[in-house]
């Protein structure tokens, strides 16, 4: 039984590669999907497609329209969602993706460091499972197959 | 036609009073609901009800269970949601409430300062309307009645 | 049993007044709602609320965000939808409102002149009832109470 | 990950071939579906199946019943919808398909020329992404795979 | 707590009056709704509103469009459905209303004589409760208040 | 694109074989499913599985529970439903299956002879397409692939 | 803002009176609903309405059909559900009501003694809030109004 | 047509092996899924993943979060659910899984011994089919293919 897992979170480092590698080592039949990880492409895609915009406000909205469409398509195809939070970045997009997944009844695993317990308490309570590391998140996925 | 509007956002100041006053001046038939605004009560409600918890992690989760139940009940009764973001605080709970509202097809108005355009771009693109001030948000509500 | 009926259609004349008057004469316990009928307010509401926009494209989108929010709120409260088409105007907004209502399982009555049979054939086939005049549409509403 | 994309729009020219060719050149794993493109078959299918009808009204409705069934089946199988508008034709069927897709939460890309900004403003605001050319629409689809 | 109950069934006699009288005697706070009971009006409503039709086929379809719209509106407002079957008449409309109610998760009480056990077995198994008389059906409704 | 089509209707003759043969001749990639066609097995399955029942009422209900489960599973897997009506038999089970399919938004084709226009008018108006013969129904399916 | 709260649980003692009294003392605008509390009426209602049944199996099923219909109607009208578990009785009906409420997205408060932590762990994890006493459950309800 | 069947029930013996063996003998194209059957792993998984917990309450909740996520994922993939009850164990988790399946409109077969007729009467009435043995349950599944 193959599962598709959406990896929500910041796109400033390659944490998703970690996830995929560990899952591969464990031979888990899981396909991972996620947002555009090339950060400048993610920011520029709007203007790349429809042309230069009057200001950053419109530039950001044009890019977000396309990024959100991509997320919607992939999230719909997903069986489980992993949402990773770290101490850097606002990550409101991550919170939005996690909350949307939960509202759509998609099981969601939250990964967050101990230092973020308090600001993430409500989302954590709603999420199916909350862990602190990528390894733990994959263990939860692996458990589906045990 | 009375409407119920959920005011999502931080509970560190009384911005909701502003909203209610402006709406009152305009004689809008709107009932406003929102989260628990007494910040320490909001944090302590878990332990108050079920007793002292082993650590802050469990204390926060116990409180969040009750706060989330309250939000669910009130959000369900709401016709429109206003989500306010400011430069202080993590506000992941606000992002969660806004995204949940949108996923539940509840029209949502985002209020955010110009300085937060970039980190809120995806949520802003999904929200029905994005404005910068409380006054503008109420104007949008008022427009429903014009 | 009071019903709320959404009147979708162009806002260039006061056909909605006709609807309300006939319904009133028949003493039907119906509340009618609809889009903003002041055409220039409808077009300008975006800039009025959030300020001047770089071009008509952005001006129109800002206004539409607010008009669409208004429509969503009122459509949600509606039990039946009447969508009126005439020979003037593109009326893609009307087609959108009618189709949305049908997709949301809200009974919809289409009013269209004989000259528009062919271009409206698909929407007419989907609509619950298709008539040619406002009088006929109200007769259908009246029949709910007979 | 293969996707199915429904191409909504007029059936008076072969714009869909353009779409398929560009997607093919880019090696996108996308299956395109759409309405019956043989215009006279589309208009005549009702009478062809159930026999001659009393007038064009009934002829059109019989054909639409069958065309709408076809659209429903294919739209349900689709992950994304592209809706193309041009300056010719009423295109109320296209508006209906686009709005239905959006109401069913299917990501929708609107293609419309600059000249139609104003009459399509509401639908454009609701659509996930709005572009002006087929090339841009395919770039958005391609972005899902980047 | 007032409830609205839809009375589905043939419109050839006044069995609904029986239902209302018994409920009234028991002082049940129930509002009863149902289809158009004037049989010729029910059959003629299509032609009455949109004019004479080419044949009975079109006459019946025009009437059904309007009758179905009425049923949809009232069924949506209902909390419970009672579907009465008797030995006369085809009653496919009744079966349709009962099945639709069940598919929409509206509790449904089936009333049918012993002689119709076999042909109604599948619908009876799906219905919440099956009884043989109107009195029994009202007892079930009454039980909600005990 | 393979489709699954549920064939609802009486199980007293092998009309479904006709359907499958015509579809096969036309090389349509369609999988047909339907109810148990062995009429005595259909009636007896309840007692066969759980043992003899006190009377026909309980025997029929036990069988219907199992037949309904089978229908639910297969209907859920279906993309389109064909419901055939004839002049014999009560066919309330067929009406239930057709109405359930429509309530679940599954495109439904009704096949009924001219003599049943009147008693089937409401169901026919709700169905996507109404035809008189099996050949016509398959033409409608075939049209999805043209 | 009045709320309706469904009280799921055994009907062998009058714990619901406790709930209502405490809520009344706190002046909470809450309407409480629940199952039939007269235990023998609850068990006998089937035979009372449709007559004596062949055995307890059929007697129980006849009663359950009516009790389940009552629960469905009242649960649908409810905004919140309280499910009380105690050490006596199987309480599978209570578990069913609680799980159904959660699946229908109705906020649910679980009341269970410490001794039942282990057997109720999965249901408790799914429930919005878990407490040990009726007083605590009402405090959670009261918190919605604070 | 392959089906996926979720086997809900206690994990204290290997009854699921029986189910799989009988289905295999009958060559049924069914994939069976279910909860974690290693009882101590099921109880310990929480602490195994996120570390030792302050008490059994938290240990159980941590494990349930992960077990519930597993169940949600597998239940979602399932077409039919079998829920087995026996005289041992509280089985509130089983009742929760069965009720959740029914609320999600997944056909459910209940297996319970005669001695549990009374305490399972409500769940049994809601379930699609109730049988007493595993053999009978498989016969019902087999019937889908006959």
- By the 10 Å C-beta count (0-12 exposed, 13-18 middle, 19+ buried), E37 is classed as middle
Residue B1 and residue C49: Cβ atoms within 8 Å? no
Q: Which of the residues F107, F108, F126, F137 would you substitute to probe the D interface, choosing the one with the greatest number of D C-beta atoms within 10 Å? A: F107
B140: nearest CB among C33, C49, C74: C49
C-alpha span between C55 and D132 (Å, rounded): 16
B141 pLDDT band, cuts 50/70/90, is very high
Q: Which of the residues H3, H44, H73 would you substitute to probe the A interface, choosing the one with the greatest number of A C-beta atoms within 10 Å? A: H73
What pLDDT score does F98 carry?
A: 98
Give the gyration radius of chain H's Cα atoms. 16
Residue C122 and residue D98: Cβ atoms within 8 Å? no
- Candidates A16, A73, A84; CA nearest to B92 is A84
Residue A58 and residue C54: Cβ atoms within 8 Å? yes
Q: What are the pLDDT digits (tens) for D109-125? A: 999 999 999 999 999 99
Residue C90 neighbours by CB distance under 10 Å? 17
Q: Which of the residues F38, F49, F78 would you substitute to probe the H interface, choosing the one with the greatest number of H C-beta atoms within 10 Å? A: F49
Q: If residue A129 lies in a helix (H) or strand (E), which one and from where to where?
A: strand A129-131
Residue F14 neighbours by CB distance under 10 Å? 10
**Token pair listed for A78:** 């997903």
C-alpha span between A6 and A9 (Å, rounded): 10
* Chain E positions with Cβ closer than 8 Å to F: 56-57, 60-61, 63-65, 67-68, 71, 85, 89-93, 95-100, 102-104, 114, 116-126
* Chain F positions with Cβ closer than 8 Å to G: 54-55, 58
Give the CA dihedral C17, C22, C26, C31, nearest 10 degrees.
Answer: -30
**Token pair listed for H5:** 């069947």
C-alpha span between B14 and F126 (Å, rounded): 53
Phi/psi region, residue B71 (left: phi>0; alpha: psi -120 to 50; beta: rest), is alpha
C-alpha span between B92 and A95 (Å, rounded): 6
Contact pairs from chain A to chain H, CB under 8 Å: 45
Q: How many CA atoms lie within 13 A of H87 on its CB side?
A: 4
C-alpha span between H65 and B53 (Å, rounded): 19
Question: Across chain H, what does the average pLDDT equal?
Answer: 98
- Percent helix, percent strand, percent coil in chain F, to nearest 5: 50, 15, 35
State the sign of the Cα–Cα–Cα–Cα dihedral H31, H34, H37, H42.
positive
- Residues of A within 8 A of H73 (CB-CB) are 3, 79-80, 107, 144
* A129-131, strands of its sheet edge to edge: A30-33, A3-8, A80-84, A108-111, A129-131
Residue H128 and residue F68: Cβ atoms within 8 Å? yes
Q: What does the DSSP assignment read for F81-97? A: EEEE--SSS--HHHHHH
Place of tokens 């005669």: H114
Average pLDDT rounded to a whole number, residues G8-28: 98
Percent of chain F with pLDDT over 70: 100
What are the two backbone dihedrals, phi and then psi, of residue H67, each rounded to the nearest 5 degrees?
Answer: -65, -40
Question: Across chain E, what does the average pLDDT equal?
Answer: 98
Percent of chain A with pLDDT over 70: 100
Do D49 and F139 form a contact (C-beta atoms < 8 A)? yes
Domain-embedded: residue D47: no
Q: What are the pLDDT digits (tens) for F63-110? A: 999 999 999 999 999 999 999 999 999 999 999 999 999 999 999 999
F143: nearest CB among D66, D76, D77: D66
Do E113 and E132 form a contact (C-beta atoms < 8 A)? yes
B5 pLDDT band, cuts 50/70/90, is very high
Whole-complex ipTM: 0.97
Q: Provide the shortest C-alpha distance from residue E28 to chain F (in Å).
A: 30
Question: Across chain D, what does the average pLDDT equal?
Answer: 98
- Residues of H within 8 A of B58 (CB-CB) are 54, 58
- Residues of A within 8 A of C55 (CB-CB) are 54
Q: Provide the shortest C-alpha distance from residue H19 to chain A (in Å).
A: 19
The angle at the Cα of A30, spanning A27 to A35, to the nearest 5 degrees, equals 130
Q: Which residue of chain C has the CA closest to D57?
A: C117
Place of tokens 């905004």: G79
Q: Which of the residues F51, F53, F58 would you substitute to probe the G interface, choosing the one with the greatest number of G C-beta atoms within 10 Å? A: F58
What are the two backbone dihedrals, phi and then psi, of residue B77, each rounded to the nearest 5 degrees?
Answer: -80, -5
User: 3-state DSSP call for residue F146?
Assistant: coil
β-pairing verdict for D108-111 and D129-131? parallel
Residue B49 and residue G146: Cβ atoms within 8 Å? no
Residue B3 and residue C73: Cβ atoms within 8 Å? yes
β-pairing verdict for F30-33 and F108-111? unpaired
Write the CATH number for H117: 3.40.50.450
Contact pairs from chain C to chain D, CB under 8 Å: 108
What pLDDT score does A125 carry?
A: 98
**Token pair listed for F135:** 């050949």
Domain-embedded: residue H64: no
Residue A143 and residue H36: Cβ atoms within 8 Å? yes
Domain-embedded: residue E66: no
Q: What are the pLDDT digits (tens) for B26-49? A: 999 999 999 999 999 999 999 999
Average pLDDT rounded to a whole number, residues H92-115: 98
Q: Do the two chains B and G touch, given a threshold of 8 Å on CB pairs and at least 3 pairs? A: yes
Q: What are the pLDDT digits (tens) for C64-115? A: 999 999 999 999 999 999 999 999 999 999 999 999 999 999 999 999 999 9
Do E11 and E85 form a contact (C-beta atoms < 8 A)? no
C-alpha span between E144 and E107 (Å, rounded): 12
C-alpha span between A118 and B44 (Å, rounded): 12
- Residues of H within 8 A of F50 (CB-CB) are 130-132, 136
- Residues of H within 8 A of A80 (CB-CB) are 69, 73
E6 pLDDT band, cuts 50/70/90, is very high
What are the two backbone dihedrals, phi and then psi, of residue F100, each rounded to the nearest 5 degrees?
Answer: -65, -45
G130 pLDDT band, cuts 50/70/90, is very high
C-alpha span between A131 and F111 (Å, rounded): 56
Residue D132 and residue A74: Cβ atoms within 8 Å? no
Q: At what angle do helices G134-144 and B39-50 cross, to 10 degrees?
A: 160
Q: Provide the shortest C-alpha distance from residue F40 to chain G (in Å).
A: 24
F22 pLDDT band, cuts 50/70/90, is very high
DSSP state of E115: G
Domain-embedded: residue A47: no
C-alpha span between B13 and B84 (Å, rounded): 12
Paired strand residues for D82:
D7, D109
Q: Do the two chains B and A touch, given a threshold of 8 Å on CB pairs and at least 3 pairs? A: yes
State the sign of the Cα–Cα–Cα–Cα dihedral E133, E134, E139, E141.
positive
Paired strand residues for B95:
none
User: 3-state DSSP call for residue D32?
Assistant: strand
Domain-embedded: residue H24: yes
A21 pLDDT band, cuts 50/70/90, is very high
Question: Domain of B87?
Answer: 3-36+76-144
Residue F69 and residue H79: Cβ atoms within 8 Å? no
Q: What are the pLDDT digits (tens) for D45-86? A: 999 999 999 999 999 999 999 999 999 999 999 999 999 999
Average pLDDT rounded to a whole number, residues G27-50: 98
Q: What are the pLDDT digits (tens) for E41-77? A: 999 999 999 999 999 999 999 999 999 999 999 999 9
Q: What are the pLDDT digits (tens) for A28-57? A: 999 999 999 999 999 999 999 999 999 999
- Interface partners of chain A (CB pairs < 8 Å, 3 or more) are B, C, D, H
- Residues of B within 8 A of G128 (CB-CB) are 65, 68-69, 72
Q: What are the pLDDT digits (tens) for G53-109? A: 999 999 999 999 999 999 999 999 999 999 999 999 999 999 999 999 999 999 999
Domain-embedded: residue E96: yes
Q: Beta-strand (E) ranges in chain D?
A: 3-8, 30-33, 80-84, 108-111, 129-131
Residue H61 and residue G118: Cβ atoms within 8 Å? no
Domain-embedded: residue H59: no
Do A110 and A85 form a contact (C-beta atoms < 8 A)? yes
What pLDDT score does A43 carry?
A: 98
What pLDDT score does B47 carry?
A: 98
Place of tokens 């409102």: C97
Q: How many CA atoms lie within 13 A of H80 on its CB side?
A: 28
Report how far apart, in Å, the C-alpha atoms of C108 and of each of C84, C103, F9, F138 are: 11, 10, 30, 30
DSSP state of F14: -
* Chain G positions with Cβ closer than 8 Å to F: 54-55, 58
What are the two backbone dihedrals, phi and then psi, of residue E83, each rounded to the nearest 5 degrees?
Answer: -120, 120
Overall domain count for chain D:
1
Residue G99 and residue H104: Cβ atoms within 8 Å? no
Residue G136 and residue B38: Cβ atoms within 8 Å? no
- Candidates D64, D108, D117; CA nearest to D87 is D117
pTM for the model: 0.98
Residue A39 neighbours by CB distance under 10 Å? 12
- Residues of D within 8 A of E54 (CB-CB) are 54-55, 58
Q: Which residue of chain E has the CA closest to G76?
A: E79
Q: What does the DSSP assignment read for B61-118? A: HHHHHHHHHHHHHHHHT-SEEEEE--SSS--HHHHHHHHHHHHTT--EEEE--GGGTT
Q: Provide the shortest C-alpha distance from residue F54 to chain G (in Å).
A: 7
Q: Which residue of chain B has the CA closest to A118?
A: B60
What pLDDT score does E128 carry?
A: 98
C-alpha span between B114 and H112 (Å, rounded): 63
Q: Provide the shortest C-alpha distance from residue E52 to chain C (in Å).
A: 13
Residue G100 and residue H99: Cβ atoms within 8 Å? yes
Question: Across chain G, what does the average pLDDT equal?
Answer: 98
Domain-embedded: residue F124: yes
């Amino acid at each position: 039984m193959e599962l598709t897992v959406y990896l929500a979170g910041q796109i400033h480092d390659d944490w998703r590669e970690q996830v995929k590698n560990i899952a591969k080592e464990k031979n888990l039949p899981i396909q991972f999907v996620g947002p555009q990880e090339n950060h400048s492409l993610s920011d520029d895609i709007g203007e790349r497609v429809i042309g230069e915009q009057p200001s950053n406000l419109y530039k950001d909205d044009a890019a977000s329209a396309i990024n959100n469409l991509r997320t919607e398509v992939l999230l719909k195809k997903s069986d489980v969602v992993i949402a990773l939070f770290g101490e850097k970045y606002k990550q409101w997009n991550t919170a939005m993706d996690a909350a949307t997944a939960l509202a759509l009844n998609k099981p969601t695993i939250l990964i967050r460091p101990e230092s973020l317990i308090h600001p993430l308490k409500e989302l954590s309570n709603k999420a199916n499972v909350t862990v602190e590391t990528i390894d733990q998140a994959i263990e939860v996925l692996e458990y589906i197959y045990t």
